[in-house]
A = this chain, B = another copy of it.
Amino acid sequence: MRRTALAFALSLLVALPLQAQQASHASVTRVDDASMTRAAQLRDAALKDDTGWKVVESLTTEVGPRVAGSEADARAVAWAKAKFKQLGYDKVWTEPVTFPKWERRSEHGEVLGTHAQKLVLTALGGSAGGTVEGEVMRFPDLAALQAAPDGSLAGKIAFVDYQMQPFRDGHDYRNGGGIRGGGPSVAIHKGAIGFLMRSAGTETSRLPHTGNTRYERGLTPIPAAALSTIDAAQLARLVALGPTRVKLALDCGFDGEYTSQNVIGEITGSKHPKEVVLIGGHLDSWDHGTGAIDDGAGIAITMATGALLKPLKPARTIRVVAFANEEQGLYGGRAYADKHAGDVVNHVIAAESDFGAGHIYGFDSSARDAQPEAIQQFMQVLAPLGIEWKPNEGDPESDIGAMAQRGMAWAWLGHDGTHYFDLHHNADDTLDKIDPKDLAQNVAAYAVFTYLAAQAQGGFGSEAKALEAGK
């Protein structure tokens, strides 16, 4: 999902005033009237089209869960190639993406002693395996764990019991995702032998949320897992009754390398075939659900967009990328950026859909200051979809972050994520959670944006930027 690229986004926001100054000397980009009319027709047709639904139904049913590096990874790649061809894309190819392969084999948690009972939990992605037993020390949030003296958790299991709250823009994932990513390392510094967290989820359920974690270099990893929100509440009640010992047994870990593929489909531009409007989602998912909202929806929205645009013979090339292994560290996006680093200027603008299939409510772009007229034209066709201009609320989502950091212009079509973290990375991320009407609105929004970006005379500010040292 998105916002793993928060660091990218922040660096871009800092860079914006300069970009705006530069852009003031650039030419004005605009869309011709005929294209504006066709974009409106495209929008209305897309609302009645079920291509997106058929794509996400096919992916989640026929491939199902598709963890990077698993047997299903290869089947997902084959599926994406076949689906691009079936949808009439002009070119379909793959680009390799290599990463360490992490496997979940088994996982088990239980309360020991007089209140013995199982706990429903799941290993965090990237967690070390191992079996530990110890008293649980509960902390209401990451700051409380950080405030514990070093060594004070020697022989104990740290438990960060933070309940994420739902918001349209999902901003509390900063806390939930922050605990998941950084909590285990903090726990190690305090001497803990294991790490538990309340799932980074906004619902009340027995389904734990997985998701990636990373250990600071030089630390000896400890087993790290997320409890379902209900099991976390149960453990909190038990801890309140008195000292509570827990056994955590995870069989998981890294096992060599795997090479997957970014799968790319293109509708070749009729006038400017080398100039690319890039859209996409990520093909991999976590293992508990079937990856419907994360990110089958993004794959479906963008694959359907290209298919709907083809008959209009867009002036620029539409490139749809099904990125490999976003979940375990943005590998697909980084491999894409490494390969296409020399071609930033021809990536006219890009957008990724990786925040579910909720109604798209907002639009933003890195071109907001440099090309206000074009933005206004985009908004003119997007507004009837219930989409508002939300300057400075967007960022380049997940896999396009690495190219955006290199100077590629980006757009943001913001999904309503109020319920996204009810389902994110847990077993409930399944087809039935997608509302076909919302999905059609998502496709309509992407179709409008992509078509107008392809037809626009002039660019949106993409220019090669030197990367800052250490990034």
Contacts and interface: CB of A to CB of B under 8 A. Distances in A.
Contacts of A204: 432
Interface in A49-78: 57, 61-65, 71-72, 75
A428 B116 contact: no
Contacts of A57: 237
A238 B290 CA distance: 14
A115 interface: yes
A431 B231 CA distance: 11
Contact of A205 (B61, B114, B428, B431): B428
Contacts of A65: 117-118
A71 B118 CA distance: 12
A200 interface: no
Interface in A209-226: none
A117 B64 contact: yes
A28 interface: no
Contacts of A288: 206
A234 interface: yes
Contact of A430 (B207, B230, B241): B230
A64 B114 CA distance: 11
A61 B237 CA distance: 7
A120 B62 contact: no
Given A62-B241, A238-B61, A427-B120, A230 B432 contact: yes
A233 interface: yes
Nearest to A119: B64
Contacts of A432: 204, 230, 233
A116 B233 CA distance: 35
A237 B111 CA distance: 39
Nearest to A120: B427
A113 to B, nearest CB: 11
Which of A111, A117, A427, A430 gathers the greatest number of chain B CB atoms within 10 Å?
A117
A99 to B, nearest CB: 22
A428 B115 contact: no
A427 B61 contact: no
Interface in A92-151: 111, 114-118, 120
